[in-house]
Amino acid sequence: RHITIIKYNLIYFYFYFLTFLLTHLIYLNKLFYLFTKWYSEIKEKPLIIKDILVNEENIEKNNFNNFNNFNNFNNSNNSNENNKGTQAPHKYIEIYIKDAFFNRKEITKFAKNAIGVYVFKSVKGDCYVGSSISLYNRICSYFLPSILIKGDRRVIRYFHNYGFSNIDLTLYILDNNNNNNNLNIKQKKILELEQFFIEKLNPNLNVNLICSSTGFHEPISMEWRQYFRELRGTPIYVYDICNLTLIHIFDSKTYLYRSLHIDHRTLDKYIKNNKPFLSRFIFTLNPIISMSVEGIINISDIKLLFEQIRKDFNNGEFQFKNRKKILAENIVNSNLTKNYISINACVKDLKGDRSTIRKYLENKNNKPYYRGQWKLSYIKN
């Protein structure tokens, strides 16, 4: 009898526990969801305002109600940095984003609809200071491949050459929620704050250390107006036939012949005839899809390259001595037989692997024909 009572009690307990669990399951699930969300936000958030954790609700939608709390933050670390001024001209909130390229969500969260100054800084100490009336759009423009390829500014060339790995971003956000909607006044405040940080950080990637010269925008002389008109034109693509790759894109003919010291009539002739300049470079108004775009170099490097090739060409030393021409005989269809000026051209046209094709050329492969139909051999001079 006692055993029966114990069994009934256990059954009652299990039933009661199951009922309790089902009743409170929805609350437990919600509690677990809130805990998971809170933990992920704390773990992933790399944003700091002067060693104080950022409360994103205070900054979203440009809520600067607590702006006075950060009034003196710009003075707290003056002794740690080499600055010429002692106090920033305007109040700001500082937001630090580590590895900015890989934290686009944080950029969107804090730079959207914000105005102020931004600072890119690498682990090596390379630094660039800029400002914008639209921080989000300006910062994201640096990540666009089209800008990186065509841009000729020092900071753009730097990002194109070294990428965005270990590049941190600091935002200095001004109050954009006040009663003053005068655009000129806002622009003036932005420029003053930018100039303060330029003098404070002495950035090596800024060409002009007087920010007003690129400002919003002071009247420019007629000479500069004419110069900018000349720079706007049809882009010129420069290809290196040695490597079968695009090496630079000039914004206009004027910029090209001024940079590379080519007479405009000579340039027009080579563009029209599609013949290689200095037996190496092709100028074209349209991109050549079959050629690679992975070898783009900056304006300084292309100037040095042209200078050296022009010197060798004038001395009669430009002969492509190391280039070996290749004969590709097709044993299935003789009409497909071709000559190639280099192994690069052969690899590109046959869409093959360089090391495999080289083995066939050097008779180091067990099979006589590449892909069962191509007999590859060097052409003797």
Domain boundaries, the chain: 1-44, 49-214, 230-314, 326-378
**Three-class SS state of 239:** strand
Q: Which of 354, 355, 360, 359 is nearest to 373 (CA)?
A: 360
Strands 52-53 and 281-284: unpaired
Place of tokens 């002389």: 221
Q: 168: pLDDT confidence band, cut at 50, 70 and 90?
A: very high
Span 49-214 CATH architecture: 3-Layer(aba) Sandwich (3.40)
Q: In what order do the strands lie in the sheet with 281-284?
A: 245-250, 236-240, 281-284
* 204 vs 230: which has the higher pLDDT: 204
**Is the per-residue pLDDT at 144 higher than 90?**
no
Decide if pLDDT at 121 tops 60: yes
Mean pLDDT of the chain: 75
Within a 10 A sphere around the Cβ of 99, how many other Cβ atoms? 14
Distance between CA atoms of residues 195 and 129, nearest Å:
9
- The CA distance from 111 to 138, in Å, is 10
Cα–Cα distance, 328 to 323 (Å, whole number): 16
Flag the least confident range among 5-19, 215-229, 238-252.
215-229
Q: What is the pLDDT of residues 235-253, one digit of tens each?
A: 788 998 887 888 888 877 8
Residue 285 confidence (pLDDT) = 86
pLDDT for 117 equals 93
CB 199 within 8 A of CB 84: yes
| Residue in the block written with tokens 């920033």 | 88
The per-type count for the chain, helices as H runs and strands as E runs, is 14, 12
pLDDT, position 104: 84
Q: What tokens appear for 159 in the block?
A: 């990002």
Positive/negative CA dihedral, 35, 40, 42, 43 = positive
Residue 83 scores a pLDDT above 80: no
Residue 245: the pLDDT is 85
The string of pLDDT tens digits covering residues 291-313 is: 777 778 888 888 888 988 887 77
The token pair that represents 39 in the structure block: 């933990």
Mean pLDDT, residues 130-153 = 80
**What integer pLDDT is reported at residue 46 of this predicted model?**
41
Q: Is residue 39 predicted with pLDDT exceeding 80?
A: no
Both tokens of residue 113? 């609809």
Calculate helix-pair angle for 253-260, 222-231, nearest 10 degrees: 100
Packing angle between helix 354-361 and helix 343-350, nearest 10 degrees? 120
d(CA 355, CA 280): 25
Neighbours of 238 (CB within 10 A): 21
Q: How confident is the model at residue 146 (pLDDT cuts 50, 70, 90)?
A: low
Stretch among 132-141, 178-187, 198-207 having the lowest mean pLDDT: 178-187
Q: What is the pTM of this model?
A: 0.41
Residue 233 main-chain phi, psi, to 5 deg: -170, -165
Highest mean pLDDT among 11-25, 114-128, 132-146, 258-272: 114-128
pLDDT at 379 over 60: yes
* pLDDT score at 62: 41
Question: pLDDT tens for residues 339-372?
Answer: 888 787 888 888 888 888 888 988 888 888 999 8
